[in-house]
Structure 1
Amino acid sequence: MMQNPANQACAVSAQPPKPTKKLRLFWQNLSGEAQSRWQQLHSLWQHRRQRRHLLTLLILGSTALTISATACVSYFFVRGLILDNLKEIALLKLEKGSDEIDRWLSSRQAEIETIAYSPTIRTLNWQLAEPSLQGEIYRLKEYFILSLIQPDGEFQNTLGDRTNVKDRQYFKTAMAGKVNVSDPLISRTTKVPSITIAAPILALPPTPNQVIGVLSGSIKLDRVTNVANSLSYGSESYAFALNSKGVPIVHPNSNLTGNSDPLTNSFLHSKDPALAAIARQMTDRHTNIELVKIDRKWVYVAYTPLDEVNWSMALVIPRENIESQLQALNLLTSVVAGLIGPAMLAAIWLIYSSESNRAQAEREAMLNRISGRIRASLELDQIVQSTVEEIVNLLHLERAGFGWYEPPQQMLQILWECGQSDNPKPVKKFAPYCINNLSMRLEESEPILLSSDTFAEEKNQSLQLKANSYLAVPVLTQSQSQGYLICSHATHWFWSGEEIQLLKAVADQLAIAITQSHLYSQTQDQVKLLNSALTELKKTQTHLVQSEKMSSLGQMVAGIAHEINNPVNFIFANLPYTSKYLEDLLELVSLYKQAFPEIPPEIEDFAASIDLDFIEEDLPQMLSSMKIGTERIRQIVLSLRNFS
């Protein structure tokens, strides 16, 4: 890809070749023409038939594949959305039951903690605490035993039993200052499976934050069992709960339920790997719903942990209970699959009917893009180079170029060129030989051999344009020069009518752009002239304004000089008389001193106060200075008059 401005086309017209060379070129042109005629017919039949057939098969195959793939993807996508929604509903139902158990356990913990904070209980005196605990059992109804445990693990309960529970985990956790709920266990006094809620008992002031004992309450599992039994999602669905060790504490099969005292079989060690994996997720406190195979049956298992205790709830739902709601989608998919055949026929008809419209739209879009690139600039080099680049890229040409044809010299000067090769060839002036009318041969796409000589190279370089492999489109501009847009295919196929019409339209747009570029250049020249004239006009205007300012300043200076001159002349004219009068007065004072040596005290005092001797000495000097100053002012006034 290369751009060469006109001033870089440094070749000149070559001398006519020798007669033997002319004969060889003539036979080359003749044989090339015969070969091109044969290739013309063969390429036309092969290219059009195979290309259209291949294009049709490609469109049909692509359409069938696209429709099938779209249908499959749409089915599985919609199925996944619906199934995810159904699974979310099941999981929300399980979370609702879990939240109910959490709220119930939270209330029980708050009750035990409130009782443990009672001043009576904080005394750890069983005689004082027993009546209060018996009253709480009667009031709350949820607990069947309340126990007061000493720091060493010894405890007494409301049934009157005594034992030691220092090895129990709930006791250790409560002594650490935390309210907790134990896993289900067998009571050592009543031998009944129960849940124990324990809260620390804090010491009375002055050490209120010290744990001095534990208050515990035992609750049966009936509430948890009732909530689990209420959870269902269709027939044969059931819920179960696991403790922190993976042991089922609630399960429809009572043979599987157990507690931590003694530890029974955990689901973590189940022989069913799917059930063991679910139990592992539950003990790790994860929330999810999975499709697994348990007891040779596919089921969905939703599981979620409890917040108030380290347990997890699970809801087992048969697969058909959830996926039965996808029957409408499956029916719709079957109907759509049955309509694919007619849809394919309709698609084929639409393809063939819209082929011409699509081709026309593509040509218009391509033309608009090329036109946009052409009109993006008013510089001639950029316009033409953008045009040949867009033509090569959009039409997948081997080469495209633009040149000016000079009829008097029979010279084709190619100045802009673009090709698919990474190593562009230098663009030069070409002088065609054995051609009577170059313009006609170019327009009729006849074989042409262009050769050129340069000052720097002695060997003759040639460019052969074979028949039907190139297309020369004239670019008619308003200037005297005639341009040609020359395009070359990578094969010897015919140029289709659509391509010719497109290139003609591009040539028209290029001609308009070149004309606009010339007009733009002329306009720029006119703008430069106007800017130069405007600059000169501004200089003249500035000179006139300056002259007017100087004239006004001269008049003003003359007026000022006249006004100053009058009072200065008055002062200068009176200075000689003032000097004479002063001398007379000083002489008179001197005579008075001689005539009257005895001066009256009043006059002597006044003469001393005004320093009469200094005045007699300084006053003549002052008059002399005034005379010099007035003379200087008169010289300045004279200079101002000369300036004006």
Structure 2
Amino acid sequence: MKLARNLLLQLVIGSTTLVVGLSAYWSYRVVRHLILDNLRANAFAEVQNGANEIDRWLSARKAEITVFSSTPTLQTLDWDVVEPYLQQLVDNQSNFFKFGLAYPDGTRYNTTGATREKGSVKDRAYFQAAMAGRLFVTDPIISRSTGIHQVNISSPIHAQQPVRDTERTDHSQESSVMGVFFGSVAVDRVTEIVSRLEYGSGSYPFALNSEGQAITHPNAALMSTKENPGPSFLDSNNPGLAKVAQRMISRYEGIELLELDGHLQYVAFLPLQEADWSIALVIPRDNIERQLLPLNVLAVLMVVLTVGMMIVLWQVQTIEQRALKTNQAELEAQVREKNDALKQLKQTQAQLIHTEKMSGLGQLAAGMAHEINNPLNFIEGNLQHTEEYTQNLLDLISLYQTDETQTGETQTDQERQQWQSKIEHYSQAIDLDFLQDDLPKLIHSMKNGVSRIKAINSSLQLFARVDEEGSKRFDIHNGLNNTLSMLEPRFSESSQIPIQVIQKYGDIPKVKCQINQINQVFLNVLTNAIDALHEKRKMITNLCSESSSDHKLAITIQTEADQHWVSIHITDTGIGIKSDVGDRIFEPFFTTKVVGRGVGLGLSTCHQIIVEQHGGTISYRFLCSMLVREQPGL
């Protein structure tokens, strides 16, 4: 009967260990998925930054063409007057290698010697677009005058003609296109700009036009021009690449893992705003996933630990069964004691496995953000004590096994007493009572650290993920709280004058909006408020002699709603806005910050999101207020 009971106990312990191991495995899978999503999002953010740089370069070239085309010299359309001016422009900059002037009939001059008698550009897309009044960037073409592969940027040349209306007393100006001004950029120059985009060793960028053909690519054989079309990636034999190309020409963005060049590689892609092109960056898989290696190693260690624990349990049960067969009556008390010890050991083992799982999350998340370092270091310090406690327990089990094997069936009372004496002596040496009390506390404290890391990771993912399509019902308070969580480290950068956050939330409904766009508005406005408070902190520190505790740095967030609107008021006690710049704060590229701290697009972006895309209002009166319309019935 007792033997059957011990066999059942063995089954229960083994099943419990197996369940704990499986739980650890699924936890590893979940943590790995979360971290990999964040790593992919970080890689995509790098590609976004590179694409933004390319857009800025194209925007600057388009702005130059627009400015040049509006000069009085160009508007004369007299090549004898225009040519010296354009030759000077070619010499004074490095992006355009030639400029040209085209007339409405398609004939043109350019700075490389082409004349009106040497052909027409009437069939060129850049000429047709400019004559229709549009600023236009072409796909690569081969120049008819130089034979160089180039990209043309064209702009209409407008004439101002007075128009009189006999029924009106005022006079207006009616604009007409009287010619086309264009500049040519060598494809090699475009390739040079695009090639700056990278993400580690082995990565390379390429760009596709609206037909899925390569504008730039490391393999020159794949590059396409209008005169010599290259292969379309839409017709690729690689289904994954063809799918990505289709998404690129549809102006989607994302990051996909597919097989390229015989290896699994990530392809991050997104459309440009300044041309009908899409940029992609091929990233070797290892460049992104190498940070998962420590987590994978920890997972293997947890599997080994689980299997080892099961083997130890099996051996302990075998020893108990042999002891029961030898003298059940004499060893009954010892068997009960061992069973109690094994139950305690099972609990300790489960806690150790849980600690390993959470410490793996903490160690790998260390690179995600600086804010994770504190809980991670705390977990790492506690692991040293946990390892010491675990080794002591394993040594105690080993002592059980060794003495049982040596005494066997011929064990005498004296030998049994010596065995018990050894076990008691070792238990005192390792302070078993303290270990049993301290180990659960260590594990509990490490679990708290892991919970903090998970909260930080959730906030990071909210701002790293790709925007979802369409509007959704959104809890404004949840968005504000997540943004505050992201910015929390900046509130306490100075221990002398910390920044306080005062939340006065009203009873407001959920609002149908573009969630990530509204979150971006919160982030921009609150970042500006924090910057203003930091400036005031510097002034207090440098100029004031009284205690810094007398000065209050605070941000107040208040929400309220009526029948049609939800309003958010964000107030700070910073240095304020000067009256002479207040009317310009929503202008693009306007900033009062020092060089390197911003480009002046934060509040301009907020204005575009709130006013143009959501039909709300944004304004300031010593504070920043936003109104988001809540339509009845939604």
Question: Larger Rg: 1 or 2?
Answer: 1
TM bin (shorter chain)? 0.3 to 0.5
TM-score, normalised to structure 2, is 0.44
Specify which structure has the bigger relative contact order, considering alpha-carbon pairs within 8 angstroms and separated by 6 or more residues.
Answer: 1
